[in-house]
Amino acid sequence: MTKSPTANLRNPRSKAPPRSVHIVGTGSYVPQRVLRNADLEKLVDTTDDWIVTRTGIRERRIAAENECTSDMGAQAALRAMEQAGVRGEDIDLIICATLTPDMPFPATACLIQQKIGAKRAAAFDMEAACSGFLYAVEIGQQFITSGTYNTVLVIGAEKLSTITDWEDRSTCVLFGDGAGAAVLRSSGQTHGILTTCMGADGSQSDILLMPAGGARYPASKESVSGRMHYLKMAGKEVFKNAVVAMQTAAEEALRKCNLTIQDIQCVIPHQANIRILEALADRLGAPMDKVYVNLDRYGNVSAASVAIALDEAARAGRFQRGDLILLVVFGSGLTWAAAVIQW
Ligand code: UT7
């Protein structure tokens, strides 16, 4: 009997279990230039001691002038593809999570498609700020689970240095540039991405934003002179929300797959501030040595943060095949997400 063209699509009434989805390769890329806290002391009224004590950040990477989000995303993607043994033509879909696209349009995912030779792939960007990578993983997973696609490339890439106000000491010490990527594929095995959950609260959209450059305040002399094309943040408010939202998301993800924090070998959170990670670990009951931290070297790289951390932790052997890991993120929107993965 010939196979119907829709044979792979999941019938909602079918009893067949959904296809499990695995991360079969990860990759990351950070630019060469290192900006240390001592360098920032020369730019704004700050000190290495304040930055380390209040944030845990020691240095961050800054992209070269001609190095764009799509260049960094493509480098991370090629490394993930190499590890997965996947060629450009094998990829069905590219999702790029970013709040610093090369241009408002076309999508940075399309520019990456061309750079990695993924000619067959559909490509789009999605924006959920620092939560973007996990939102993109969830979307990619759904396309695979439904049988629509087999191989999805998910990327988090940012050139935050272009929207950082280098005269504002309360934000310019926090951010950096870089990219991370993961290749998602279905497999016959039962483990893989066990659960994901996402959330948002638009009522607090004003505590972390870039006001201008969109339809509300298009670029004008006034928007530029008012420094409205830079990121603005009410730090304390964001801090409090980050801790609560990440705790809630992490607990929901664990509950959904009937696990407790004791079952988890490694927690990989969004890398914004060491004090947020310590408060989160404390509330979840996880010792800090279970929590992967790289913000001391990269600062906050928004959508790329958790993707870079996942790649580094996997390559460093922080968890083994079969281990359970918990990813949890938070960002502007407000948005948050968590995922439990059996590696
Ligand atoms: O990726 C999305 C998620 N983002 C986050 O989660 C970031 C969350 N927020 C934070 O991480 C923290 O709120 C910050 C690191 C941004 C700020 O830390 P804080 O402990 O909340 O400091 P603060 O804003 O309350 O400022 C305390 C003092 C102020 O001085 P006064 O008013 O007490 O005299 C600031 O002006 O620290 C001053 N300050 C600085 N001093 C030296 C703020 N930034 C700096 C600085 N260097 N860079």
pLDDT tier for residue 11 given thresholds of 50, 70 and 90: very low
pLDDT of the residue at 73? 98
Token pair of 84 as six digits? 């997965």
Task: Tell me the whole-structure pTM to 2 decimals.
Answer: 0.94
pLDDT of the residue at 12? 43
pLDDT of the residue at 8? 38
**What number does the ligand 1 atom closest to the CA of 270 have?**
1
Does residue 179 contact residue 307 with C-beta atoms inside 8 Å?
yes
Residues with catalytic annotation? 130, 270, 300
Token pair of 181 as six digits? 């990527």
**Cα separation of 196 and 183, whole Å?**
17
pLDDT of the residue at 5? 39
| pLDDT surpassing 80 at residue 106 | yes
pLDDT of the residue at 18? 64
Q: Chain-wide mean pLDDT for the chain?
A: 94
Q: What is the mean pLDDT of residues 23-43?
A: 98
Which residue's alpha carbon is at the smallest distance from atom 36 of ligand 1?
Answer: 170
> 152 pairs with which residues across the strands?
93, 184
Q: What is the mean pLDDT of residues 201-206?
A: 98
State the CB neighbour count (10 A cutoff) for residue 275: 14
Q: Minimal CA–CA distance to 337: which of 127, 138, 94?
A: 138
CA 111–ligand 1 middle distance (angstroms): 36
CA 8–ligand 1 middle distance (angstroms): 51
| pLDDT surpassing 50 at residue 58 | yes
Token pair of 134 as six digits? 């996990």
pLDDT, one tens digit per residue, over 240-296 is 999 999 999 999 999 999 999 999 999 999 999 999 999 999 999 999 999 999 999
pLDDT, one tens digit per residue, over 213-242 is 999 999 999 999 999 999 999 999 999 999
Which residue's alpha carbon is at the smallest distance from atom 12 of ligand 1?
Answer: 235
pLDDT of the residue at 187? 77
* CA 202 distance to own-chain centroid: 19
pLDDT of the residue at 17? 56
Q: What is the mean pLDDT of residues 187-194?
A: 82
pLDDT tier for residue 19 given thresholds of 50, 70 and 90: confident
pLDDT tier for residue 3 given thresholds of 50, 70 and 90: very low
Token pair of 149 as six digits? 């696609």
pLDDT of the residue at 16? 53
Cβ of 242 closer than 6 Å to ligand 1, yes or no, is: yes
pLDDT of the residue at 253? 98
Q: What is the mean pLDDT of residues 113-124?
A: 98
pLDDT of the residue at 230? 98
Identify the residue with better confidence: 11 or 262.
262
CA 50–ligand 1 middle distance (angstroms): 9
